[in-house]
Chain A
Amino acid sequence: MTVAVEAIPSLGRRAVERRGFKHLARRFARNRLALVGFLLFLAIVLMALLAPWVAPASPIKTDFTAYLQPSGPRHLMGTDELGRDVFSRIIFGSRASLEAGVISVGLAIAAGLPLGIVAGFYRGRLDDLLMRVTDAMLSFPQLILALAVAAVLGPGLAKAMIAIAVVLTPVFMRIMRAQVLTEREREYVDAARALGAADRRIIWRHLLPNSLAPIVVQGSLNVAGAIITEATLSFLGLGTQPPTPSWGAMLNAAQQYLTQTPWLSFWPGLAIATTVFAVNVAGDGLREIWDPRTR
């Protein structure tokens, strides 16, 4: 599985090179909204990486002399019920969200791609079995399955990420399998085989690079979904645990102070919505570039 993860960036470059990276980048940049989304996402990533330097205060240091303060010069977004600086917690909270979004989708791709390739390339009984299992997994409502897996695994960010990855794996497996099924019938695969290429070579050099576009598109849109799911799990108390700041958990804690200090419920939600919007818009831009139907 780790092999597949390492292989993705290089193969992605190859797939892109064939259609001209510059051409694609130009198409992407022409879609203003997508570009704005991508830049916004980059800014949020930077904020997460540089959190200790960007944040004005500690995200976990409590101050019982200044709890539930409204926004002001000392605390830009006010303080929470333990006197912690909300602005700093929002900045640090981006880490849990981005980690959850990127890592859970990465795990799902790492598990889904090999399974999809095996199912689509070798067919047979294993394919039948995998298809039935994914049929079953896809007939659960995504959030309810994620919730059940997270409940069984217990609370924690890592466990929430595993729960999200489990739910997303059949999605990537199905896409990869469908890609392999169509690509393996193409002439170039026959040609490669006639030249004496082994299965391994055909899979790595031909099938994977040519099947990557839909995976990247699906992956980017699923990152957005995964961020919301992590926030939802944290909101229900199953994701990131205190005192580590996470937007979902902050909303959960803020709920009981809604009548006195509504801004506590406002900022974390705005942060989630902004991040997810950025990823969705950028992902949508990718989809439009690669989807021949929208050209």
Chain B
Amino acid sequence: MTLFLARRLLQMIPVLFFVSVIIFVLINLVPGDAARLFLGEEAPPDALAVLRHEMGLDRPLYVQYLRWAGGLVRGDFGHSFKDNRQVLPTLLQKVPVTAELAAWALLIAWTIAIPAGVLAAWRRRTVVDYSASAVALTGLSIPNFWLGIMLIYLFAVNLRWLPASGYVSPAQDLGRNLRTIVMPAFVLGVVLAAVVMRQLRSSMLEVLSADYVRTASAKGLGARVVLIRHALRNAVIPVITVMGIQLGTLLGGAVITESIFALPGLGRLAVESIYGRDYQMLEGVVMFSAFSILLINLIVDVVYSLIDPRIKLAGARS
């Protein structure tokens, strides 16, 4: 087990290396350099030169990369171009909001998707299947920012049931926290529900034609037992495998929902740093989101190896 973990962590290193190279190259494509962004357009040339020297911008690119990457390894993501805040602490401070939003969205998505996917596969080629699939396709086609705006109009402007925007932390007031999070979580959950439902439906179809399902039915087990205990259990595996992709969908969607509903999370931080041309901060958010996806993939792998004895851990042969 430890060997497997060590191996997987080692495998992450080249990916993280390329992730950091891509971000570094990307940010260096920005016209104008950090010193100018820091001092503004009308900074005197000699002040610029001094700051450039201080920031190491007059050194060769690979030296700049190594210094920057060295900082990342030590947990130093640099300082904001705008207000000199440290990037990593600022980021970490936003994580709980996005994590709460993503957790609710995931819960909503799975609550809709699992029954819908199972039903659609079980009643294949019936009205149930067709309507579930059509609803899923519709969910995939609705832009989340539009859905968000429409919900704000309906529930905040028109009916006045929910606040249009803002955030209250659960520690402060749980009731108000839920009222602020329900709309964005729903908006974020809809697309994911559609994706998961379609995936679950197709893996259920595969599983339902497997021999052990036929055996289970043949020995007289009720449809419900076969469906839930035998089919769903196995069909859900490929859905969990792509948790990383689901997290990617959630983080990407959080950019939009957090902007619309004014939630102080990572997504909104990304948008604000784009508007403010705060590329150091943007770099941090992008790096952090890639890192969390890689981490989820690792966790999924490890959990699999724990719950499914058939999955042999590469490099962990006893």
Contacts and interface: CB of A to CB of B under 8 A. Distances in A.
Interface stretch (A176-184, A195-203, A258-266): A258-266
Looking at B149, B293, B294, the one whose CB has the most chain A CB atoms below 10 A away is B149
Contacts of B23: 148
A5 B27 CA distance: 30
Interface string A232-271: 1001111000000000100100010011001001101100
B26 A148 contact: yes
A282 to B, nearest CB: 11
Interface residues of A, number: 48
B305 interface: no
Contacts, number: 138
Given A144-B285, A235-B145, A277-B137, A258 B153 contact: yes
B19 to A, nearest CB: 4
Given A136-B19, A137-B22, A284-B137, A143 B145 contact: no
A215 interface: no
B145 to A, nearest CB: 5
Contact of B26 (A141, A149, A228, A231): A149
A147 interface: yes
B106 to A, nearest CB: 15
Given A135-B15, A258-B153, A141 B145 contact: no
Give the residue among B15, B27, B134, B249 with the most A Cβ atoms within 10 A: B15
Contact of B149 (A132, A237, A258, A281): A258
Contact of B145 (A140, A232, A280): A232
A152 interface: yes
B289 A251 contact: no
Interface string A47-90: 00000000000000000000000000000000000000000000
Contacts of B152: 258
A139 B294 contact: yes
Interface in B16-33: 16-19, 21-23, 26-27, 29-31
B193 interface: no
Contacts of A255: 149
B56 interface: no
A293 B207 CA distance: 12
A294 to B, nearest CB: 8
Contacts of A294: 202
B74 to A, nearest CB: 21
A144 to B, nearest CB: 5
A119 interface: no
Given A132-B14, A135-B15, A135-B18, A147 B270 contact: yes
A171 to B, nearest CB: 11
A141 B206 contact: no
A276 B140 CA distance: 8
A293 B206 contact: yes
A276 B145 CA distance: 14
A144 B290 CA distance: 9
B313 interface: no
A137 B25 CA distance: 13
B49 to A, nearest CB: 24
A259 B158 CA distance: 8
B146 A139 contact: no
A136 B15 contact: yes
Contact of B146 (A140, A149, A251, A259): A251
Interface stretch (B84-92, B178-186, B253-261): B253-261
A273 B252 CA distance: 19
Given A139-B19, A144-B251, A147-B255, A277 B141 contact: yes
B143 interface: yes
A132 B21 CA distance: 12
B249 A236 contact: no
Nearest to A135: B15
A258 B157 contact: yes
Contacts of A281: 137
Contacts of A103: none
Contacts of A192: none
A232 B141 CA distance: 13
26 contacts: A33-B130, A133-B18, A139-B244, A140-B293, A141-B293, A143-B253, A144-B285, A144-B289, A145-B286, A147-B270, A147-B271, A148-B23, A148-B26, A151-B274, A152-B26, A152-B30, A231-B145, A232-B256, A235-B143, A258-B149, A262-B153, A272-B143, A272-B146, A273-B143, A274-B141, A280-B140
Given A139-B19, A140-B290, 15 more contacts: A135-B15, A136-B22, A137-B22, A139-B290, A144-B255, A144-B270, A144-B285, A235-B145, A255-B149, A258-B153, A269-B143, A272-B143, A274-B141, A280-B140, A294-B202
Interface of B: 14-19, 21-23, 26-27, 29-31, 130, 134, 137-138, 140-143, 145-147, 149-150, 152-153, 157, 202, 206, 244, 247-249, 251-253, 255-256, 259, 270-271, 274-275, 279, 282, 285-286, 289-290, 293-294, 297
